[in-house]
């Protein structure tokens, strides 16, 4: 078993189902150490064993963390770097949609916390391991919804009027802004940072707290959605392909570079979001 990631270490969040699991399966076939992160310890262990058995790769590791909790993110990063001081690929895949406002253990609005602050914090905490690799890659799963997103700094937490769709759109734009700003800050380190839209994929998206419209429409359009395997293709491409070696600050759809929304290229907006995110995660300024 060999491939572009043979002998390397890969970490994938939200990897116990859907796009994340499909990404882990494909990458495991290429022979790296594949660390998968899930919320439920038993499920994560079971999925890791399944991926290992399916691919013949014995180095599939289960890691448990609720990424809506900053304490659990910090613990994950600390423990991971003790075992793996070198990280070649980080796939920020975890995310979700909630139609009603809810808060995390840190008092943050859940969508913003999980979809944006979690990859922001985890990536920053793992930077030493990424820098220790020869040419590490950070891959952040966004969505076509980023095109409808706006960053409302006066209502980031949805305290003054909450819309599940608006919160989701904002978080997906934040993913691209973060990815682009990370690329700029790591320009001379050899680490690349790219974001992607996986397509409309047949997953359990929004299942925990769907809107009425989502409950009605999903069974109707489900047959026309992409399979998780197809949805994972761009993540796998950005994680492994020699065609994107050295490519950074990009946005990809169907494994091809595309223009993201106009706002996603706003450097002042990205820098402001970075500063706010640092404060919300108690993270000191990144010195790349």
In the chain the first and final C-alpha atoms are separated, in Å, by: 35
Q: Are residues 55 and 29 in contact, defined by beta-carbon separation less than 8 angstroms?
A: yes
Q: Are residues 76 and 122 in contact, defined by beta-carbon separation less than 8 angstroms?
A: yes
Question: Mean pLDDT throughout 16-27?
Answer: 96
Question: Quick count: other Cβ atoms within 10 Å of Cβ 81?
Answer: 17
Question: Mean pLDDT throughout 44-64?
Answer: 98
Question: Which CATH topology does 69-281 take?
Answer: Rossmann fold (3.40.50)
Question: Mean pLDDT throughout 28-35?
Answer: 97
Residue 207 is predicted with a pLDDT of 52
Question: Mean pLDDT throughout 38-48?
Answer: 98
Mind listing the pLDDT tens digit for each residue in 103-129?
Answer: 999 999 999 999 999 999 999 999 999
Please provide residue 250's backbone torsions phi and psi, each rounded to the nearest 5 degrees: -105, 165
CA contacts within 13 A on the Cβ side of 157: 11
Mind listing the pLDDT tens digit for each residue in 250-274?
Answer: 999 999 999 999 999 999 999 999 9
Query: Residue 287 — very low, low, confident or very high, per pLDDT cuts 50/70/90?
Result: very low
Q: Are residues 14 and 20 in contact, defined by beta-carbon separation less than 8 angstroms?
A: yes
The share of the chain scoring above pLDDT 70, in percent, equals 88
Q: Is the dihedral of CA 94, 191, 170, 142 positive or negative?
A: negative
Distance CA 52, CA 194 (A): 27
Q: What average pLDDT does the chain have?
A: 91
- pLDDT surpassing 60 at residue 54: yes
Give the Å distances, CA to CA, from 124 to 49, 143, 239: 29, 22, 18
Q: Which of 97, 168, 237, 251 is catalytic?
A: 168
Question: Mean pLDDT throughout 172-180?
Answer: 98
- pLDDT surpassing 80 at residue 193: yes
Q: Which DSSP symbol is given to 113? A: I
Q: Tell me whether residue 168 is one of the annotated catalytic residues.
A: yes
Quote the pTM value: 0.90
- pLDDT surpassing 50 at residue 202: no
- pLDDT surpassing 70 at residue 208: no
């Amino acid at each position: 078993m060999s491939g572009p990631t043979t002998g390397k270490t890969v970490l994938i969040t939200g990897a116990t189902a859907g796009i994340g699991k499909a990404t882990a399966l494909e990458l495991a076939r290429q022979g790296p150490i594949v660390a998968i992160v899930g919320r439920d310890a038993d499920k994560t262990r079971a999925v890791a064993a399944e991926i290992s058995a399916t691919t013949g790769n014995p180095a599939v590791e289960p890691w448990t963390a609720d990424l809506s909790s900053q304490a659990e993110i910090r613990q994950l990063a600390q423990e991971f770097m003790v075992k793996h001081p070198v990280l070649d690929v980080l796939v920020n895949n975890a995310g979700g949609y909630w139609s009603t406002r809810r808060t995390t253990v840190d008092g943050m609005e859940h969508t913003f916390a999980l979809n944006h602050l979690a990859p922001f914090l985890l990536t920053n905490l793992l930077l030493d391991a990424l820098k220790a690799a020869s040419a590490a890659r950070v891959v952040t799963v966004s969505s076509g919804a980023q095109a409808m997103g706006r960053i409302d700094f006066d209502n980031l937490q949805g305290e003054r009027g909450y819309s599940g769709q608006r919160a989701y759109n904002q978080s997906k734009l934040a993913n691209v802004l973060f990815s682009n700003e990370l690329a700029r800050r790591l320009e001379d380190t050899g680490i690349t940072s790219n974001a992607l839209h996986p397509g409309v994929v047949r997953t359990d998206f929004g299942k925990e707290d769907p809107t009425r419209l989502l409950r009605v429409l999903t069974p109707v359009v489900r047959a026309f959605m992409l399979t998780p395997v197809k949805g994972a293709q761009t993540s796998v491409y950005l994680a492994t392909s020699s065609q994107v070696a050295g490519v950074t600050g990009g946005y990809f759809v169907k494994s091809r570079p595309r223009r993201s929304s106009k706002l996603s290229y706003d450097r002042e907006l990205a820098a402001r979001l970075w500063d706010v995110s640092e404060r919300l995660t108690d993270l000191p300024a990144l010195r790349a």
